[in-house]
Amino acid sequence: MRTTRMLRAGAALAAALAAPAALAQDADPQAIVAGQFAIGGNHPGVRASGAKGTCVSGTFTPTPEAAGLSKAPHFAKPTPMTARFSMGGSNPKISDKTKAVTRGFSMRFKDTSGDFVLVFISAPVFGTRTPQQLLDALTVRLPGPDGKPDAEKVKAFVAANPETTRQAAWLNARPVPASFAGVDYWGVHAYTLTDAKGKATVMKLKTAAAAGQLGLSDDELKAKPDSFYADELTERLAKGPATFDLVGILAEPGDPTNDATASWPEDSRKTVKLGTVAVAAIEPAATCDGATFDPVVDVPEGVAGPADDPMFAIRSPAYAVSLSRRSQ
């Protein structure tokens, strides 16, 4: 089992690192992933991000509108799903009470033709615009000899890169989610759906929680232990599936597709419901750990990520580096 995992991880890494000539990269994915691990304390055997999480299974049921917009087989009929909720970062001991950290929702819709992977976070924007900016943001926050980052250097970086503060500002303006199933998640990047006749529709993707935004008050937060999401989800699923609408937020002329730190004005954009994501059961961690949720490679015909967003393509080699390291 371990050998199979390592072989699969090695093959994924080799494939990903052989491909980057075609990818818009301006920083080394190995260096980025090393930075991600270092910030979280270099824990072995965990992901470079989303290290703490819960693996689940369920179903994705598309709407007829989705089938009209994309020829992907996953939009033609219900598919079984493996998914994983997580806390951002590489520290597997991070408290579920941490506010300025995204919650993650990675989904794998499984069809005989191949998998369709979507990897979402609980904010409409990512923290950096380019891989080099991500590497710089990580490097400046590495702990110094006193175990802390250099506050002056962080201040200077933030002043020179104001767009890197948008994600934290968004999270800090909202309460800590009470449940992995009680918060919305965004795909952040712009996707293009293409139908059988070649008609393309550009949109951002989001899962809207049927439970709504379940936030904890300060008093409720104080009363919680550091790990409560896994138990909360187990109790919730014992009563029935936790569902989300998969929603497409349609682009209007001028909406940027190349900047993961820029959100579109969602309230004034048309939306389309693409399907229902139903999370039904908790799965052993191993069900999610053997492979990586790769949102670049595991995309069916009829769905494409943004060719002009430098943060998108580099995710594939970075995730492979992390899989390789955590599988050793």
Q: Which residues bind ligand HEM (CB under 6 A)?
A: 32-33, 36, 47-50, 53, 84, 86, 104, 106, 119-121, 126, 131, 134, 187-188, 260, 292-293, 311, 314-315, 318-319, 322-323, 326
Q: Kindly state the tokens that stand for 238.
A: 């014992």
Instruction: Give me the helices (H) in the chain, please.
Output: 2-18, 29-40, 64-69, 131-140, 151-160, 166-172, 218-223, 229-238, 286-289, 310-313, 315-326
Q: By the 8 A CB rule, do 94 and 51 touch?
A: yes
Measured from the CB atom, the residue of 32 and 246 that comes closer to ligand HEM is 32
Measured from the CB atom, the residue of 39 and 323 that comes closer to ligand HEM is 323
Output the smallest distance, CB 56 to ligand HEM, in A: 11
- DSSP string for residues in 252-297: -TT--SS-TT----GGGS-EEEEEEEEEEEE--THHHHSS---TTT
Rounded Cα distance between 187 and 314, Å, is 15
Measured from the CB atom, the residue of 300 and 310 that comes closer to ligand HEM is 310
Output the smallest distance, CB 52 to ligand HEM, in A: 10
Short-list 53, 102, 69, CA closest to 275? 69
Short-list 57, 67, 170, CA closest to 106? 57
Output the smallest distance, CB 226 to ligand HEM, in A: 19
Output the smallest distance, CB 251 to ligand HEM, in A: 17
Output the smallest distance, CB 100 to ligand HEM, in A: 15
Q: By the 8 A CB rule, do 233 and 271 touch?
A: no
Strands 303-304, 114-121: pairing is unpaired
Measured from the CB atom, the residue of 67 and 188 that comes closer to ligand HEM is 188
Measured from the CB atom, the residue of 33 and 303 that comes closer to ligand HEM is 33
Q: Kindly state the tokens that stand for 18.
A: 């052989």
Output the smallest distance, CB 101 to ligand HEM, in A: 11
Measured from the CB atom, the residue of 83 and 193 that comes closer to ligand HEM is 83
Output the smallest distance, CB 250 to ligand HEM, in A: 19
Measured from the CB atom, the residue of 73 and 306 that comes closer to ligand HEM is 306
Q: What is the DSSP letter of 81?
A: E
Q: What is the DSSP letter of 308?
A: T
Rounded Cα distance between 26 and 294, Å, is 20
Indicate the SS3 state at residue 150.
Answer: coil
Output the smallest distance, CB 136 to ligand HEM, in A: 12
Measured from the CB atom, the residue of 71 and 294 that comes closer to ligand HEM is 294
